[in-house]
Structure 1
C-alpha cells in the first residue's frame, strides 16, 4: 500500500497572547511540530515537499533505513530544494518504530525555527495499549517578547555546547489519560543541542525501544537520557498525572504533564513484553575492520589540524573522498573518541549500529550515540545499505562548523 502525504514548509506567525507579540517561525503544513506522518511497516510512504520558506531546504527522514537518494542531504544525496520548488520523497519504511523528519539545510537554524515533525512506522501487530502518545521534547532560545533570539550563527554557541534554549517544554500529542490506562510514550528529543536527562513520574512500566529499535529485553527505567535526535519508547500503566522534568545541574525544571481525567474501568494486568524485533543484520564473529573516529576542536579543546571549529580525525567538513569505504554486508567496529570538552551525539544516516559494552557484548541498537566529553564509545555497524551516508554530530551547530564526514557502502 502507498501512503501519500504533502508537507509544505512555510513561514509562520504564532499566536499573539496579550503579553507577547507574534513569534515568527517556520513550520510544516502550518504548524510546528509538523504533522504526524504514519505508515505501516514495509509499506511505502510518498511525500511531496513544497518549499515556501524563502530559502533553500530539504527533508531528512531520521533513523529510517532509506534508499540513499531519498535521504535528504544537500551536496551528498540530492540538490537543495530551492524556495518555490517541490521535491518528491518516496521510500519503503522497513522498520517499525519511532522516527522523525527535519530540515537538513541550514539545519542549525531551520530545525530551531520549527522545521521538524514526528514519523511513526506502525508494527504489523502493535502492542495492546489504551493510548499511543508522541512526546516531543524541545527547547527554544527566546527574547523577552517571545521572539527567537537571532544568534543562530553565533560563534560562541558553535564553539561550545551548541545553541541551547532558555525555555523548554514537552509537546505531547494527547493532553489527558485515565488512571489505569496502559500507554505507549514515544519520546523524541528535537532540540538543537541540549541533552535532556528526563525524569517521568506518575507511571510504572518498562523501556521497550531506543531510537526506534525494540530492546531484546524490556528494562526498568529511571532517568531517561536523550541526546539531540535520540528517541525512547516506554510502555507503562498510569497511576497519576504523568509529569516530565529534567535536572539542569542547578534545579529541577518542569517540562509539562499529561493529566489524569477519570479512571479506566478495566485496567490491563498482562506483563509488558518486548516489541516485535526488526529484521536487522547481526555481525557474525569478530568485525572485519576496526576504525577510530576522533572528535577534535571547540573551545578548551586544544589545537587540531582541521580548517573549522570542529573536526573528525583532523578533517573539518565533508572531504572529497569518504572517511570510510565499506563493502555491503561488512561489519566495522568504530571507536568514537571524544577529545573535546563537550558532549557530542554522533548520528549515522541510513543505518543503525550496536553500542558495544566494556566487556565486548553488544548493547542496544542506536542511530545516534551520545559520547560525553573526554570519553569514548565503541559502536559496531553492519553496513548493509548501499550509498553515500552522512556521519555527523547532531548538536547541529557542531556539524555546521566541521564535525561531519561521510561513509560509502558499495
Structure 2
C-alpha cells in the first residue's frame, strides 16, 4: 500500500499556498453533577514557531479549549460521567472510541442519540470496563469537526499494577498524532466537503503534530524504559511509525494486550492505537526519533527523544506483558453467523450503481448527491441494519475491499479478532476495534455479539464515512 504525504521536515507551509464479561452498569448511583466537557472554538499553535496560531474547535474541562482535548484518565471498572456543553455553531456529539459501552452512551449521532444543538447539553454516564488506550471525538459531522480539532485521549488504567514492575516501564507518555491541512497563514483549509478528497484517500494534511505541537522534543533519561500510548486521530492519514535509535516492543493494539513483540514499524490507520515500550540508549548525548513514512519509503521526524538528565539502570530484560483483560468472550467458529462487507466506489474504480435513500442510482447521480462509496451496494445505509445477530452469537465478518484505497473499518461497541493469516496491515490473532483493509484485500474477523443495541460500522477515513461508507448492525 502507498500513502502519500505532501510534507517536508521544516517550512512545510512555504510557497504561499496549502498543499493539496458483562457490560451492564453497576448499581452505583449516578453523579449528581457530572464534570463538564465543553466543545468550544479556540486556537492552537499547530504550525512551527513563527507562524500564527490556528483557529480550531476543541474540548475543555476547565478554562480554554486545548488540542488535543484534555486527557481523561480512569481505572478499569470506573464510571465516567461527563456533561457535554456545546458552545459550537453546529450540533455535535461525543463518541468514546473503543470502549465497550452501553449503546445509549455511544455518542453515534443520530443512531444512538440526537445531535446536541448549539447551546444545549447531554450527560454521558458509563463504565469503562477494559484497560487500554482509547480516545473520544465528535461523531456528528466528524469529517469536519474532527478535522477542526475535536478529539482527545481517554486512558483506562490497568486494574493491577504494571508500571514499575519487573520488566515494565517506569513511566508512560500519551502521544496523540494528528494531520492538519493548513494554508500559508496556518489557518485550516476549509474544504471539508471536497468530493475530490472524499473520493480519493480523504483529507490529507501537510502538517503532522504530536500532542498538538509540530516536531516536539520529548526528553528521555539515558537507559530509561517508557511506555508510549500512540493514538492516530487524523481523519484520513495512515501513519507508518518507526522509532529511530530506540529499541521498541509492541504490547497492545486498540487497547487490547498482545504478547510483547519487537517492531521496527507500527502501521496506524485513522482511529487505531498502539502501545509500544521503548528503551532509551545509555549514552548521555544520544537521541531517538519518532519517524513517519510520508508515503515514499522515507522517514520524517515528527518528534525527537533527546537523552537528558541522570542515567537510569537500563535493562535488557524481556518486556513484561500487560495484564489480560479476562472478560472478552472468545469467538466460537464451529458454526458462526457469517456476514460480508463489500466495499466499492471511489476514484479509479467507482461502481455502476448503488442504492441511496431507497433509490438505485448510477455513479454520476450518486456523486451529485455527495455519495461515492458503498457497503454491500448501499451508500450511507442507515435505513436498515446490515445484519442482525442474537446476543451471544459469534459473528464471522468477511470484509472485501474492491476499491483503490485503504479503509479503516471500525465496529462500535465490540472488539474483534483478526482471523486472516495473510492480511497486509493486520496480524492473525490480534484483537482490534478498527482494522485497516488494503486495496483488493479481504480481511476476515470474528467477534461475539454480546453488547445489545444498534451499533455503527463505518470507515474511519471520515470523508469516506460521510460519502457512503457507513451502516449499522443490530444485536438483539
- Same structural fold, with TM-score higher than 0.5 when normalized by the shorter chain: yes
Structure 1 residues 369-398: Cα deviation after superposition (integer angstroms, max 9, x where no partner): 000111110011111100000000000000
TM-score by length of 1: 0.95
Report the 3-state secondary structure (helix = DSSP H, G, I; strand = E; otherwise coil) of the residue aligned with 1:177: coil
Partner of 1:124: 159
Higher strand proportion, which one?
Answer: 1
**1:11 maps to 2:51:** no
8 Å Cα contact 1:60-1:101 kept in structure 2: yes
- Find the aligned partners of 2:209 and 2:301 in 1 and give their Cα distance: 8
Partner of 2:385: 322
Partner of 1:290: 338
Structure 1 residues 119-178: Cα deviation after superposition (integer angstroms, max 9, x where no partner): 000001232222210011111000011001111111100111000101113228993220
Distance change >3 Å, CA 18–CA 225, structure 1 → 2: closer
8 Å Cα contact 1:350-1:385 kept in structure 2: yes
Partner of 1:241: 287
Distance change >3 Å, CA 205–CA 385, structure 1 → 2: same
TM-score by length of 2: 0.82
**Would you say how many aligned residue pairs link Structure 1 and Structure 2?**
409
Partner of 1:81: 116
8 Å Cα contact 1:180-1:263 kept in structure 2: no
Partner of 2:413: 350
- Find the aligned partners of 1:287 and 1:277 in 2 and give their Cα distance: 27
Partner of 1:374: 440
* Residues 66-75 or 301-310, more deviating: 301-310
Q: Aligned-pair distance for 1:270? A: 4.1
**1:152 maps to 2:182:** no
Partner of 1:332: 395
Q: Aligned-pair distance for 1:320? A: 1.9
Report the 3-state secondary structure (helix = DSSP H, G, I; strand = E; otherwise coil) of the residue aligned with 2:77: coil
- Find the aligned partners of 2:469 and 2:220 in 1 and give their Cα distance: 42
8 Å Cα contact 1:170-1:244 kept in structure 2: no
Report the 3-state secondary structure (helix = DSSP H, G, I; strand = E; otherwise coil) of the residue aligned with 1:82: coil
- Find the aligned partners of 2:428 and 2:291 in 1 and give their Cα distance: 30
Distance change >3 Å, CA 174–CA 103, structure 1 → 2: farther
8 Å Cα contact 1:287-1:332 kept in structure 2: no
* Unmatched tracts of structure 2, length 5 or more: 1-27, 357-370
* Residues 119-128 or 377-386, more deviating: 119-128
- Find the aligned partners of 2:210 and 2:288 in 1 and give their Cα distance: 11
Aligned-pair Cα RMSD in Å? 2.1
**Moved beyond 6 Å, runs of 4+:** none
8 Å Cα contact 1:38-1:122 kept in structure 2: yes
Distance change >3 Å, CA 342–CA 306, structure 1 → 2: farther
- Find the aligned partners of 1:59 and 1:103 in 2 and give their Cα distance: 5
Partner of 1:169: 209
- Find the aligned partners of 1:320 and 1:188 in 2 and give their Cα distance: 32
